[in-house]
Amino acid sequence: MNRLSEIKKKINSNKDGKTVFANFGYLSLLQIAGYVFPLITMPYLARVIGADGVGKIAFASAIVVWIQTISDWGFNLIATRDVAQNRADKEKVSRIFSNVLWARCLLTLFSGLLLLIAVLAVPYLRENADIIFVTFLLVPGYILFPEWFFQAIERMKYTTIFNLLIKLIFTISVFIFIHEREDYLIQPLLTTIGYLLCGIGALYLILMKWGYTLYSPQWGELTRTIKGSTDVFINNLMPNLYNSFSVMLLGFFGGATANGLYDGGNKFPTIFYNFQSVLSRAFYPFLSRRLDKHSFYAKLNIGLALIGSIFLIAISPFVIKVMLGDEFEKSVIVMQILSFSVIFLAMDYTYGTNFLILNHKEKPLRNLTFVSSILGMSVSIPLVYYFSYIGAAITVLLCRGVLGVGTYILAKIYCQG
């Protein structure tokens, strides 16, 4: 009892410790919601819209994730780092916030134009134009909701509140508006509405309540902002060459049903991927100031990944049958393969995002990601062609393995250097 009181006293007396502890509390709540809400809607959607509808949504999402990556342009890491290191200077933080917002708007317009050209030029994309463009609407909503900013100023409370609102709006709306297989178009639209509403609320909080300023766009500053995050953008973009590209290949080679089987097996590992991502974001601003605490984060993150991977592999036959139904029986092997990749993804977050980037080693990380992604794109074509959704899962596992082990080796090299 005395020991617990002593620990609590130390946390309360240490500002950094108190902040990280609070972030962990909100993180835990966010993760509970991340598990609960999908578990409510997933069985319903799988049975109502079927593997074909799930596959069409997955195909459109795989295309639009390229647009989202372009709109991010690495700001989610570089701008977060810069704001976290200059939190005391409100004007500088306002400048960073404004430049990032306008830059993301500009990049979204540009990438949206490229998407329009691609859809008009490629017959299979034209056939799925409706779901692609509805899914694209998610990007403007995503831009308006500056989750990276709440992370940078270490106010995870607000990220949690807004994410809970998004999930709640989506979950209730699914049961109200989706009743037939043809209603699959409504699913991405509901997510977009949730982001737009919460984005408006977030901007009101940042600009009106906290007093940050939204400056008008200046071309010179926008150019410097985009240029400063280019290495991280490349690092974020390249994994799409094996991840989203594999899903796109599935659409061309195997059709919507193959995409649906892959997405069914990917749903539950994705819940754990999201947990790793949020954990990484919670520690990122803290580690940007206290990199000497990295070893604790490494043990925590990789330890949880090992436990999570074993657990997901073990429960995969049961959870697929109960949550998705007999139509998704072939998704079990996909889930098991992707569950194993959780370990490598944890290594990438631990030694790439939360070490190399914080040490301003974006270029070595970019080069490693480039090599692993080109390798992934090369092997994905024969693997997906011959082994369909299983080949797509193997591609992701191989590439994450190369990237995870590679970031660990690079981190050790720079530690010694």
Whether residue 362 is contained in a domain is answered as: yes
List all residues 6 or more positions away from 15 whose beta carbon is below 8 Å from its beta carbon.
none
In the prediction, which pLDDT does 327 show?
A: 87
Residue 66 forms part of a structural domain: yes
In a domain, 2, yes or no: no
Closest to 36 (Cα-Cα) out of 159, 197, 179, 171? 171
Domain that holds residue 281: 15-416
The reply to whether 229 falls in a domain is yes
Q: Please answer whether residues 56 and 184 qualify as being in contact, where contact means their C-beta atoms are separated by less than 8 angstroms.
A: yes
pLDDT, residue 1, reads 47
Tell me what pLDDT residue 389 has: 92
**Residue 8, in any domain of the structure:** no
For 389-417, give one letter per residue: b (16+ CB within 10 A) or e. bbbbbbbbbbbbbbbbbbbbebbeeeeee
- What are the C-alpha distances in Å from 207 to residues 97, 138, 142, 249? 10, 23, 18, 43
Helices (H), 241-361: 244-253, 255-289, 294-324, 331-348
Question: Would you say residue 5 lies in a domain?
Answer: no
Cβ atoms within 10 Å, residue 151:
24
Q: Which residues of 223-252 are buried (b: 16+ CB within 10 A; e: fewer)?
A: eebbebbebbbbbbbbbbbbbbbbbbbbbe
d(CA 156, CA 147): 9
d(CA 129, CA 132): 5
In a domain? residue 3: no
Residues whose CB falls within 8 Å of the CB of residue 56, separated by 6 or more in sequence, listed in order: 128, 131, 184, 256, 259
Any domain includes 199: yes
* 174-208 burial code (b ≥16 CB/10 A, e <16): beeebeeeeebbbbbebbbbbbbbbbebbbebbee
* Digitized pLDDT (tens) for each residue of the chain, 417 residues in all: 454 455 445 545 555 556 666 666 676 676 666 667 777 888 888 889 988 888 888 888 888 888 888 888 878 778 888 888 888 888 999 999 999 999 999 999 999 999 999 999 998 899 899 999 999 988 888 888 888 888 788 777 777 888 788 888 888 899 999 999 889 889 888 888 888 888 888 888 899 888 899 999 888 888 888 888 887 787 777 776 677 788 888 888 888 888 889 989 998 898 888 778 778 877 887 888 788 888 899 999 999 999 999 999 999 999 999 888 888 999 999 999 999 999 999 999 999 988 998 888 888 888 898 888 888 888 999 999 999 999 999 999 999 999 999 999 999 887 754
Provide the residue count of the chain: 417
User: Measured between alpha carbons, how far is 121 from 124 in angstroms, rounded to an integer?
Assistant: 9
The per-residue pLDDT for 289 is: 77
CB–CB of 325/46 below 8 Å? yes
What is the predicted pLDDT for the residue at 11? 47
Look at the alpha carbons of 33, 35, 39, 41 in this order and tell me if their dihedral is positive or negative.
positive
**CA-closest candidate to residue 264, choices 187, 305, 189, 316:** 316
Predicted local confidence at residue 7, as pLDDT: 44
Distance CA 82, CA 93 (A): 8
Count of the separate structural domains present in the chain: 1
According to the model, what pLDDT value does residue 51 have?
84
Tokens of residue 219, six digits: 């071309």
